[in-house]
């Protein structure tokens, strides 16, 4: 918070000018580095951050890193030079943040993380993290598949003895990808039905629709009718994969069971159209709690190191009813 300057008021006009100048000067200034616009989810997250900043009366310096960690590091360095009150950012990948966060610490600027996790050598390099529990999201995804396969007595399409799963992973090194992968694998290993499943292939689609489509095309070429289930680590890649599956003459959501993560409107529409089976929510509406936490940090109040937002699981049969209530 910058210290407001007092102007000597001469006459009513000058008093009003002084008041509005003081208000502008009193605003908390936050520098925020977003990773880009790779998905419907990310757009919702960015819109929410901007709207929440306005609601909380924050002056937001927003920077889009266009999917590059080096751009995030540059943006954070600029925020330090600008002497912002607090720095927020979404770590595109988990590692590689120590040096720049030490620079922020030396400049005595608190750092608040949003959405993804990071690994640093010293936890005091950031104050807190607001985000989602992506490990649990991965577990929920496998558990839903397991229940669905069991409940529907689904048998392998190729007549074999394994339900074959392919996985579209998110950005390499991103916590949302790593954690969802670990959660999914752990739930599979813990399942009493674990011998019923095989993971045929797992490859990154970088959390984008275009890459999801491209990688699914190559899965279909290599494994054709062996594929029973697609677990896509986000909805955008699932939506791209749906196009690849249709182009291959198969019915997404029927021939191949499709489970995504995020719960964005595009995936609800795909479920309503019978082309996808379930989405595990990853809630992008983190702006309000982010700025509340930022204000507490700047007021010297204690905050939790990790805060998770609430998230649900939405199977296709709930889609039509839930769709009109979705905010993103
Ligand atoms: O970090 C959250 C993930 O990033 C979302 O699942 C995905 O859609 C986004 O790009």
Model confidence band, residue 294 (pLDDT cutoffs 50, 70, 90): very high
* d(CA 39, ligand 1 centre) in Å: 7
Q: How far apart are CA 42 and CA 2, in angstroms?
A: 31
Would the pTM count as exceeding 0.85?
yes
Q: How far apart are CA 258 and CA 255, in angstroms?
A: 9
**What are the tens digits of pLDDT across the range 210-238?**
999 999 999 999 998 999 999 999 999 99
- pLDDT score recorded for residue 25: 60
- pLDDT score recorded for residue 193: 98
* d(CA 156, ligand 1 centre) in Å: 30
- Mutating to test ligand 1, I would choose from 65, 130, 177, 282 the residue with most ligand atoms within 8 A of its C-beta, which is 282
- Mutating to test ligand 1, I would choose from 39, 115, 211 the residue with most ligand atoms within 8 A of its C-beta, which is 39
Q: Which atom of ligand 1 is nearest to the CA of 40?
A: 8
Q: Which residues contact 88 (CB under 8 A, 6 or more apart)?
A: 30, 31, 32, 33, 111, 112, 113, 114, 290, 294
- Mutating to test ligand 1, I would choose from 262, 266, 285 the residue with most ligand atoms within 8 A of its C-beta, which is 262
**What are the tens digits of pLDDT across the range 86-141?**
999 999 999 999 999 999 999 999 999 999 999 999 999 999 999 999 999 999 99
* d(CA 43, ligand 1 centre) in Å: 10
Q: Which domains does the chain have, with CATH numbers?
A: 5-132+284-310 (3.40.50.2300), 134-282 (3.40.50.2300)
Task: Over range 32-54, report the average pLDDT.
Answer: 98
Q: How far apart are CA 261 and CA 4, in angstroms?
A: 45
Token digits of residue 109: 């600027």
């Amino acid at each position: 918070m910058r210290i407001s300057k007092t102007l000597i008021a001469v006459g009513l006009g000058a008093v009003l000018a002084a008041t509005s100048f003081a208000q502008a000067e009193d605003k908390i200034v936050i520098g925020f580095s977003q990773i880009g616009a790779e998905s419907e989810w990310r757009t919702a997250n960015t819109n929410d951050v901007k709207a929440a900043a306005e609601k909380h009366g924050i002056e937001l310096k927003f920077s889009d890193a266009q999917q590059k960690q080096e751009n995030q590091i540059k943006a954070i360095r600029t925020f330090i030079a600008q002497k912002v009150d607090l720095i927020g950012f979404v770590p595109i990948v988990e590692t590689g943040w120590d040096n720049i966060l030490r620079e922020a610490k030396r400049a005595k600027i608190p750092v608040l993380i949003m959405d993804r996790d990071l690994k640093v050598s010293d936890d005091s390099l950031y104050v807190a993290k607001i985000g989602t529990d992506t490990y649990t999201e991965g577990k929920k995804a496998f558990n839903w598949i397991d229940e669905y396969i069991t409940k529907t007595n689904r048998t392998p399409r190729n007549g074999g003895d394994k339900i074959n799963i392919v996985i579209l992973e998110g950005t390499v090194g991103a916590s949302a990808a790593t954690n969802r992968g670990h959660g999914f694998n752990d739930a599979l290993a813990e399942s009493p039905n674990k011998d019923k499943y095989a993971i045929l292939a797992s490859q990154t689609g970088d959390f984008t629709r275009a890459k999801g489509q491209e990688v699914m095309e190559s899965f279909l070429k290599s494994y054709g009718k062996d594929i029973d289930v697609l677990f896509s680590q986000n909805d955008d890649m699932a939506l791209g994969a749906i196009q690849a599956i249709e182009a291959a003459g198969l019915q997404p959501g029927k021939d191949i069971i499709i489970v995504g993560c995020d719960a964005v409107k595009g995936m609800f529409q795909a479920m309503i159209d019978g082309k996808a089976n379930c989405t595990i929510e990853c809630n992008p509406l983190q702006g309000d709690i982010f700025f509340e936490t930022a204000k507490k940090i700047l007021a010297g109040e204690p905050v939790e190191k990790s805060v998770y937002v609430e998230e649900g699981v939405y199977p296709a049969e709930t889609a039509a009813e839930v769709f009109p209530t979705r905010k993103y």
